[in-house]
Structure formats: C-alpha cells, structure tokens
Amino acid sequence: MNKPMTLNVRIGGALSDFVAANVGAHGSYENVSEYVRDLIRRDKERLEAEQFQRLEAELHRAFAAPESSYTPLDAESVIARNRRS
C-alpha cells in the first residue's frame, strides 16, 4: 500500500457551496477529507464496475459465437507459435 497522499484542491462558487452543504453538522460527512475520500472511492468502484461489465459483455459474445469460429489448438502448436514471435 502506498503512503498517504496530501491533496490541495481549490474550489469556489457553487461547488464550494455544494461541498459546504454536504459537510458538517447538517451534511452527510464530518469533514471535507471524508467527503473527498468517499467521492474517490465511489469513482473507483464505478470504473471497476464498468470494466467488469465490458469484460462480461466480451465473454458473452465469445460464448455466443458459433463453435466453427474457433480454431482448435494444442499445447505444442501454441509453444511453437510463441517461439517464432
């Protein structure tokens, strides 16, 4: 695991007001750091879910392809092909 990172972010106007409304006694987060960590965590989870969905779609396409679209291979031919590369 990497060491903690310190970030300095400057925001103003409507964004600043929005953050202020979500932090503190009346918000969902105790402080701005907690809010930013949650935003990053959610973004990471969203990206991982998108990657998984793309992989899942590719696997569904592969399994739905007719068997005639596949080329049978044995270990020897794969090893020989990799030696030529």
The first and second tokens of residue 75, run together, are: 């270990």
Residue 71 confidence (pLDDT) above 90: no
Q: What gap in Å lies between CA 8 and CA 18, rounded to an integer?
A: 18
pTM, two decimal places = 0.70
The full set of domain ranges for the chain reads 13-84
Query: pLDDT tens, 15-61?
Result: 999 999 999 999 999 999 999 999 999 999 999 999 999 999 999 99
Cα angle for residues 79, 83, 85 (degrees, 5° grid): 120
CA-wise closest residue to 39 among 64, 18, 66, 69: 18
Q: Helix, strand, or coil here: 4?
A: coil
